[in-house]
């Protein structure tokens, strides 16, 4: 069926959910949907229930008894009055919602008229239920129902989707094991209580495992209706591709940098606005984040350029081992990315995953008094250089890699590509290190997987000055160093990304050399 007209983008996600709901497989089938706060999970699931029928239940932060009763009331709302049905526990509640054939009435009802699909139950914000001992049996109950329905014939088809914003808990729910490969941690396994995750029972039972991610830079420009790529990029670098921010920004659609300044001063930089305290709001999603001062300090250190555990420890004046658990939590919760060198199995770097968190750490928090005293425009202007170097710079690198992976055509890159990342190249003769912002491996090549073919290498610069022939000469030098090191990069395309464009000398060189590609902000947003 067609995607709902009031659902922006999300075609692939809608197709996955529709396929899950309309599957003819018998029995209880469970799907897991996760994603950070405000990414549009609830909006998407409510439209799924609207189109296919079923029950949508939003869990709240409340005591176990009222939480169970609210579920009971929602389950029987079309047949009985609130409070007329009570369940002793979640086992009884779920068995009432998903009964075997011939046992009681299926409260989920039939699919919506004209829609083919199994009765659907959505439990949104599941981590709120798992926070109490009474709710921690829920994953085990679902496991039991899945197993029973698979082993018995004649069991009706049911579809259950559980959803949550606490990424660390939802990742445990899907994977069934801790993912400790990111950052070495001195903390024992028991520091994250297993009962919080509810992970072991659903391991292998979830048929759908869907992560709802933020929109990319091009889709975000369409969401806000911004025609000028420069304005679209600036907004994306600050708030990212979170669709929920569109409503919080009052459906604004800035078309000039002056309009964007006014928008930011009245919203993100306004103490009265919800986005002013967004970092704290997001951190509260993970129950493991209790010593918030430490986590704020770690985020500030990473945003400021401390990209390894040892550098973070030096900034904070703490032993590196004491930060292992905090870093592990921030990575699994989606606040921090661990980015490995695409050509080497070492030199991992830590970066802030969420643009608005990075913006708060670098721009808002250091000038908090000025913003709270309503000197927002003055403080915003004073932060211009910080924004250009530490907000726009990293964001421009990120969208350059994303463009290379998703939008650049094979002619531009010299063939199909697989992984895209970054690397550091040592120049012993020149006694220097060269950071390559973009390294595109040939399709099928993987980082750390032998000797991959390098399709393209690129250097990204967010500067007010056009890029010059010296930039191309440096990229030629880096490619030669890679070849001398034994990397298959002799035929690699050379990509130069520049937000301020390119000078005539470089433009002329690119016209003469077919392996050189110049990519400005307009090509990033509209070209291939």
pLDDT 10s digits, 40-87: 999 999 999 999 999 999 999 999 999 999 999 998 886 666 778 899
* pLDDT bracket for residue 517 (50, 70, 90): very high
- What is the pLDDT, as a whole number, of residue 189? 30
Q: Is the pLDDT of residue 104 over 90?
A: no
First to last CA, the chain: 31
Q: How far apart are CA 363 and CA 370, in angstroms?
A: 11
User: Could you give phi then psi for residue 124, rounded to 5 degrees?
Assistant: -90, 150
Taking the alpha carbons of 247, 253, 256, 262 in that order, is the dihedral positive or negative?
negative
399 contacts: CB under 8 Å, gap ≥ 6: 216, 217, 233, 236, 524
- Across the range 317-338, mean pLDDT stands at 92
Q: What share of the chain has pLDDT > 90, as a percent?
A: 73
Alpha helices by DSSP H, 345-392: 355-359, 368-372, 376-382, 384-386
159 pLDDT above the threshold of 60: yes
The string of pLDDT tens digits covering residues 198-251 is 446 777 788 999 999 999 999 999 999 999 999 999 999 999 999 999 999 988
Q: Which CATH class is domain 11-211?
A: alpha beta
Inter-residue contact 401 to 421 (CB < 8 Å) = yes
Q: What is the pLDDT of residue 179?
A: 36
pLDDT digits (tens, 9 = 90+) for 430-474: 788 899 999 999 998 776 666 789 999 999 999 889 999 999 999
Contact 135, 173 (CB under 8 A): no
CB 268 within 8 A of CB 22: no
What value, to the nearest 5°, has the Cα angle with vertex 140 and ends 136 and 144? Answer: 155
Would you state the pLDDT for residue 169? 83
In the predicted structure, residue 479 carries a pLDDT above the cut 80: yes
Task: Choose the weakest-confidence range: 91-105, 165-179, 443-457, 486-500.
Answer: 165-179
Mean pLDDT in the chain? 89
CB contact at 8 A, 266 and 319: no
Claim: this prediction has a pTM higher than 0.85: yes
What are the angstrom distances between the C-alpha of 337 and each of 77, 244, 261?
44, 22, 29
pLDDT score at 173: 74
Q: How far is CA 213 from CA 161, 173, 194, in A?
A: 17, 18, 26
What is the pLDDT, as a whole number, of residue 2? 85
Q: What pLDDT was estimated at residue 113? A: 53
φ/ψ of residue 126, rounded to 5:
-55, -40
In the 8-state DSSP scheme, what is residue 376?
A: H
User: CA-CA distance, 81 to 139, in Å (whole number)?
Assistant: 28
Q: How confident is the model at residue 333 (pLDDT cuts 50, 70, 90)?
A: confident
Asked if residues 54 and 109 have their Cβ atoms less than 8 Å apart, the reply is yes
Distances (CA, A) of 223 to 130, 356, 394: 34, 17, 22
What backbone phi and psi angles, to 5 degrees, belong to 495?
A: -110, 125
The SS3 assignment for 10 reads coil
pLDDT reported for residue 523: 98
For the segment 414-438, the average pLDDT, to the nearest whole number, is 91
pLDDT at 178 over 80: no
DSSP letters spanning 393-436: HHHHHHHHHHHHHHT--HHHHTS-EEEEEEEEEEETTTTEEEEE
Would you list the domain boundaries of the chain?
Answer: 11-211, 217-267, 279-382, 399-526
| CA–CA distance, 499 with 524 (Å, rounded to integer) | 9
**Lowest mean pLDDT, pick from 27-31, 88-92, 289-293, 298-302:** 289-293
Choose the weakest-confidence range: 6-10, 14-18, 180-184: 180-184
The alpha carbon torsion through 414, 418, 419, 420 (nearest 10 deg) reads: 30
**176 pLDDT above the threshold of 80:** no
Phi and psi dihedrals of 492, rounded to 5? -65, 135
- Residue 190 pLDDT exceeds 70: no
| CA–CA distance, 348 with 498 (Å, rounded to integer) | 26
Burial tier of 488 (Cβ tally within 10 Å: 0-12, 13-18, 19+): middle
The pLDDT tens digits for 371-403 are 999 999 999 999 999 999 999 999 999 999 999
Q: What burial letters (b/e) apply to 72-98, b meaning 16+ CB within 10 Å?
A: bbbbbeeeeeeeebebeebeebbbbbb
Q: Which whole-number Å values give the CA distances from 237 to 212, 217, 233, 417, 458, in the listed order?
A: 20, 9, 6, 25, 20
Looking at domain 399-526, its CATH architecture is: 3-Layer(aba) Sandwich (3.40)
Supply the DSSP symbol for 335: S
3-class SS string, 213-256? CCCCHHHHHHHHCCCCHHHHHHHHHHHCCCCHHHHHCCCCCCCC
Nearest to 159 by CA among 10, 84, 277, 52: 52
CATH number of 279-382: 1.10.10.10
Q: Look at residue 126 in the predicted model and tell me its pLDDT.
A: 95
């Amino acid at each position: 069926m067609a995607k709902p007209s009031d659902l922006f983008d999300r075609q692939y996600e809608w197709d996955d959910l529709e396929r899950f709901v309309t599957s003819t497989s018998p029995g209880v089938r469970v799907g897991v949907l996760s994603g950070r706060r405000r990414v549009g999970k609830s909006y998407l699931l409510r439209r799924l229930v609207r189109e296919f029928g079923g029950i949508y239940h939003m869990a709240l932060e409340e005591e176990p008894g009222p939480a169970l009763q609210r579920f009971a009331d929602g389950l029987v709302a079309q047949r009985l009055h609130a409070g007329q049905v009570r369940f002793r526990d979640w086992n009884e509640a779920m068995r009432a919602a998903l009964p075997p054939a011939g046992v009681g009435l299926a409260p989920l009802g039939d699919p919506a008229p004209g829609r083919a699909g199994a009765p659907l139950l959505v439990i949104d914000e599941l981590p709120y239920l798992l926070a109490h001992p009474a709710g921690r049996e829920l994953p085990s109950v679902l496991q039991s129902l899945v197993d029973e329905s698979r082993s018995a014939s004649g069991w009706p088809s049911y579809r259950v989707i559980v959803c949550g914003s606490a990424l660390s808990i939802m990742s445990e729910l899907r994977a069934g094991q801790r993912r400790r490969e990111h950052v070495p941690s001195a903390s024992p396994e028991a520091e994250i209580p297993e009962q919080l995750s509810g992970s072991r029972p659903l391991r292998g039972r979830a048929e759908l495992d869907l992560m709802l991610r933020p929109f990319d830079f091009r889709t975000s420009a369409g969401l806000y209706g911004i025609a000028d790529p420069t304005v679209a990029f600036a907004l994306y670098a600050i708030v990212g591709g979170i669709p929920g921010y569109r409503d919080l920004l009052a459906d604004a659609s800035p078309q000039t940098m002056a309009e964007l300044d006014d928008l930011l001063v009245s919203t993100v930089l306004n103490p009265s606005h919800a986005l002013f305290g967004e970092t704290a709001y997001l951190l509260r999603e993970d129950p493991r984040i209790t010593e918030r001062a430490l986590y704020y300090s770690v985020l500030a250190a990473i945003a400021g350029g401390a990209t390894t555990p040892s550098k973070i420890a030096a900034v904070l004046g703490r032993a590196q081992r004491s930060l292992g658990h905090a870093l592990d939590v921030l990575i699994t919760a989606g606040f921090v990315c661990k980015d490995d060198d695409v050509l080497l199995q070492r030199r991992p770097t830590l970066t802030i995953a969420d643009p608005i968190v990075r913006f708060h750490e670098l721009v808002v928090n250091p000038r908090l008094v000025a913003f709270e005293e309503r000197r927002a425009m003055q403080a915003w202007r004073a932060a211009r250089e910080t924004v250009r170097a530490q907000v726009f710079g990293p964001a421009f690198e990120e969208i350059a890699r994303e463009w290379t992976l998703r939008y650049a055509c094979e002619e531009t890159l010299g063939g199909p590509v697989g992984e895209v990342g970054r690397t550091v190249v040592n120049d012993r003769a020149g006694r220097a290190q060269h950071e390559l912002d973009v390294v595109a491996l040939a399709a099928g090549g993987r980082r750390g997987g032998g000797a991959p073919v390098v399709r393209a290498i690129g250097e990204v610069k967010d500067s007010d000055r056009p890029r010059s022939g010296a930039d191309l000469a440096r990229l030629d030098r880096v490619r030669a160093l890679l070849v001398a090191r034994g990397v298959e990069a002799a035929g690699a395309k050379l990509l130069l990304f520049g937000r301020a464009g390119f000078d005539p000398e470089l433009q002329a060189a690119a016209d003469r050399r077919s392996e050189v590609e110049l990519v400005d902000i307009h090509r990033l947003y509209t070209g291939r």
